[in-house]
Amino acid sequence: MNLHYIIKEPKIKQEQNPVIILLHGYGSNEEDLFSFATELPEEYYIISVRAPYDLKPYGHAWYAIHFDADENKFSDDVQARESRDLIATFIDEITDKYPIDKSKVTLVGFSQGTILSYATALSYPEKIARVVALSGYLNEQIIVEDYQTKNNKHLQFFISHGTVDQVIPLDWAKKAKPFMENLGLKAEYREYPVGHGVAPQNFYDFKNWLEQTK
């Protein structure tokens, strides 16, 4: 396995079960979103992945974030694209290792994990069915160049953001829905009166969306 992960097996075992893959944010780890695991539908494998880059003194990242002399923040898109491909390979590995239905792979990302979820789904739509995009934004620079030619019409997105998010501007998050709809993809967008985090109502809404879009 190229990425470290923790797993919760489904309570309701089928011949092949769907899977939810959790991708944490910058500076966090695989334990973070895994706290959701017990609340998610019981037929899913829940797999929470640790990002590949270690941060000091602790935590992990999918790619580095740099600041220039004027305090402008920019992303290391080379590392981000490498992580995108690592996630795609990881999906192949876990769907071979466990009795997972390869047509029912859902990515749930938070912040930097959302940015990677968008990029992976649009670059490798054959591997992914749905994306829950929490408190992130779409970075077109880290999607493969020929993404528009791919067979992606099955992809569905649940996008949510806090209206007072101080880390990722609301305006950035809002661009994802029209972008997806322009590609002919289904995207639901919700806002919540919170900062950079997941409100309880947000969690219940995306859980309901998972149930409705099977």
137-183 residue pLDDT tens: 999 999 999 999 999 999 999 999 999 999 999 999 999 999 999 99
- Structural domain containing residue 26: 5-212
Q: 3-state SS of the chain: helix, strand, coil percent to 5?
A: 35, 25, 40
Q: How confident is the model at residue 2 (pLDDT cuts 50, 70, 90)?
A: confident
Q: How confident is the model at residue 97 (pLDDT cuts 50, 70, 90)?
A: very high
Q: Does the pLDDT value for residue 195 go beyond 80?
A: yes
- Averaged pLDDT score across all residues of the chain: 95
DSSP sequence for 99-156:
TEEEEEEEEEEETHHHHHHHHHHHH-GGG-SEEEEES----GGGS-TTGGGS--TT-E
Q: Does the pLDDT value for residue 70 go beyond 80?
A: no
Is the entire prediction scored with pTM above 0.85?
yes
Instruction: Supply the CATH number for residue 66's domain.
Output: 3.40.50.1820
Note the pLDDT of residue 68.
Answer: 67
Measured CA distances, 172 to 66, 122, 167 (Å): 19, 18, 11
Phi-psi region of 112 (alpha: psi -120 to 50; beta: other; left: phi over 0): alpha
**Count of domains observed in the chain:** 1
Give percent of the chain above pLDDT 70: 97
* Strand, helix or coil for residue 8: strand
